[in-house]
Each structure stands twice: as C-alpha cells, then as structure tokens.
Amino acid sequence: MKKFLYPLFVLVLLAGCTSQKNSEEFIKSTQGRYLFNANEVIEIYFKEKTLHAKWRGNDDIALLKVSDSSFYMKELNEKMVFVSQPEMHIELAPKREHEGVKYHFKQMKNGEKTPNEYFELKEFDKALTAFKTIKEKDSLSPIIRENRINRLGYNFVKKNNFDTAIEVFKINVALYPNSSNVYDSLGEAYLLNKDTVNAKANFKKALSINPENRSVKRFMKKITKK
C-alpha cells in the first residue's frame, strides 16, 4: 500500500481533545481478530480500556484515538475506522493514495482461522476448505497460487517432513486437479516417504495430463529399476 502522511499535528490535536479510554460497549464489540488479508490477521485488544493491536510479529501496537470510532495506526500510517453495520469491520479512512480503493477488514468469528494457522495446527481438511473459500471469492488471489502452495510443500520436503509435504501437495491437487505438476510433486513426496504405490499412481496421473512431463518420466524410470 502506498504511503501518504496524514497531517500528524491535526491527529495529535484531535487526540488531545479525546479521551484515550474506550467504553465497555465499544471494547466488547470491537476486540477480536480481523482479516488483514486472506491469510493474515490483525488482532485488536485493550489494555486499561485503551486500544492496542497485534500485527506482523508486533504484539503491542498502541493506536492513537482520534474519535470514538477512529484510531490512527502509525505502523500502517492509516486512520482505522470501526464500523458496526452491517457487521463489525474496520475501514481505512479514505485518502488520496488509496486511488479510490476502499479497504476494509472483516471481524473473524470465534474459532475462525487462516489457512496458514490451520497448517500450523495440522488441520489440513480445514486448511483446504479455507483455500477453497478464498478461491471462490478471488480466483486470482496470490494466497492460492499453485506455485506458492507447491513451494510450501517443498519447504517441508527439505526438512524431511514428508507427511506434512504430502498433505500440502494433496491440497494443491484438490485446488488444481488439471495440473500435471501438482501430481508430479505429490508423487515425489510419496516416493521420498517410501510409498511406491501412491507415488506411481500420482506419476501416472501427471503423465495422463502431460505425457511430456520429463520429471515424471525420470521418477518412473527410478521406480521401474527398483
């Protein structure tokens, strides 16, 4: 997001005229987790009735209260507005550098997680459901790109964590069933995990989609030699 400095002296002046304490009703309705993007969360919480946030590894970001519902976040260089209708969400106050784009972050439901969080918990079925939801809403989202998920799987391969790599590649297969490459990767993970039967099945599927897949042909030769 492009940066454009708000007149800080104006914000400070407004904040000076506004109590930094927040009402119990506001605290109850706004605290929680918000989707900053499809796979990233910003968490809102309160200390002594003043608003704080957790975001990108910083667990104690103090926000400057400008009015009863709007706060300035220095780390974003944005004024955040809490809107309760139709459902609680955060909107970024319009400014020139937004170029007409409206930014808003929805409040997450209790127990709701991002795909990455489901991965960390090894809840792969829920991760797949989350990815499918993202794909339905935005098929071009970088979060669900085939190459991105494939790289994630190979990160686990490098750590010799083949079971998790298999689960990641299976998600890619479910998202991109017409791609030869996803079956190639899944087959390789099975082969490294000494599961020749499933490796061969996925290599054959990869070849049925792309008979010229050289990587698969090399793997098939290795299996045949054994």
pLDDT in 10s for each residue of the chain, 226 residues:
444 455 554 445 444 556 778 999 999 999 999 999 988 999 999 999 999 999 999 999 999 999 999 999 999 999 999 999 999 999 999 998 999 999 999 999 999 999 989 988 999 999 999 999 999 988 889 999 999 999 999 999 999 999 999 999 999 999 999 999 999 999 999 999 999 999 999 999 999 999 999 999 999 988 877 5
Question: Distance of CA 7 to CAs 13, 36, 37, 95, 202, Å?
Answer: 10, 24, 27, 12, 59
What is the model's pLDDT at position 18? 61
3-class state of residue 60 by DSSP:
strand
Q: From the CA atom positions of the chain, what is the Rg in Å?
A: 23
Backbone angles phi, psi at 49, to 5 degrees: 70, 15
What is the model's pLDDT at position 108? 95
Evaluate whether 153 touches 145 at the Cβ level (below 8 Å): no
Cα 119 to chain centroid distance, Å, stands at: 11
In 112-212 the beta strands, taken as DSSP E runs, fall at none
Task: Give me the residues paired with residue 105 across strands.
Answer: 90
Evaluate whether 118 touches 124 at the Cβ level (below 8 Å): yes
User: Taking the domains of the chain in order of start, what are their residue ranges?
Assistant: 8-106, 115-225
Class of domain 115-225: mainly alpha
**In sequence order, which residues have a C-beta less than 8 Å from that of residue 167 and are 6 or more positions away?**
122, 124
Question: Distance of CA 220 to CAs 153, 178, 184, 188, 204, Å?
Answer: 21, 20, 11, 10, 9
Please indicate whether the domains covering 8-106 and 115-225 agree at the CATH topology level.
no
CATH topology of domain 8-106: Lipocalin (2.40.128)
